[in-house]
Amino acid sequence: MSTQTFAHQHGELLTHAEAILAAAANGSETELQNLPALRLAFARLVNSHCSVEIRMVNARAPQFDADSDRRALIRRFHDELLMWRGDLMDCNTNWPQREVANDRAGFIADFRGLADRLKARVRWEEQVFYPAILAEPVRR
């Protein structure tokens, strides 16, 4: 898979995250009812994207055994991704649909933090990580 495909998926992830925030903020009953499906689709997209991305990075990692800077980038890639995905799981656990309905502002605040971190992560991957590890700049 190319970095262009990953960049496209990043766009989908960011769009899904914003759709979740909009559905929670809108206030309409219909959008609130659609929120669980949006959240499930987002979680599935995160899982499918990350599994392919991790496999590709891990396949390239051995060629950087002697390069401490690139090994550090790969470690950061894994550590931060693991932390973010864990925080997403915590958010999904701590904010079942009934809690979101009772405290939309609280959910939005928590999920906005995840979405903001996702945006920063996407920028870092596309501008720093992919060129260094996958040797492909991202063209947008």
CB atoms within 10 A of CB 47: 12
Rounded CA gap, 43 and 32, in Å?
17
- pLDDT, one tens digit per residue, over 19-63 is 999 999 987 888 889 999 999 999 999 999 999 999 999 999 999
Q: Pick the residue with more confidence: 104 or 138?
A: 104
Q: Is residue 118 part of a domain?
A: yes
Q: If DSSP codes are grouped into helix, strand and coil, which group holds residue 33? A: helix
What is the pTM (predicted TM-score) of this model?
A: 0.90
Q: Is residue 140 part of a domain?
A: no
Domain membership of residue 101 as a residue range? 3-133
Q: What is the mean pLDDT of residues 90-100?
A: 96
Q: Is residue 139 part of a domain?
A: no
Q: Pick the residue with more confidence: 36 or 137?
A: 36
Q: Is residue 55 part of a domain?
A: yes
Q: How confident is the model at residue 1 (pLDDT cuts 50, 70, 90)?
A: low
Number of structural domains (the chain) is 1
Inter-residue contact 130 to 136 (CB < 8 Å): yes
Q: How confident is the model at residue 4 (pLDDT cuts 50, 70, 90)?
A: confident
Rounded CA gap, 58 and 49, in Å?
14
Which amino acid is residue 52, in one-letter code?
A: V
Q: State the first-to-last Cα distance of the chain, in angstroms, to the nearest integer.
A: 16
Closest by CA to 3, choosing from 42, 44, 53, 50, is 53
Inter-residue contact 84 to 121 (CB < 8 Å): yes
Q: Is residue 19 part of a domain?
A: yes
The enclosing H or E element of 121 equals: helix 104-124
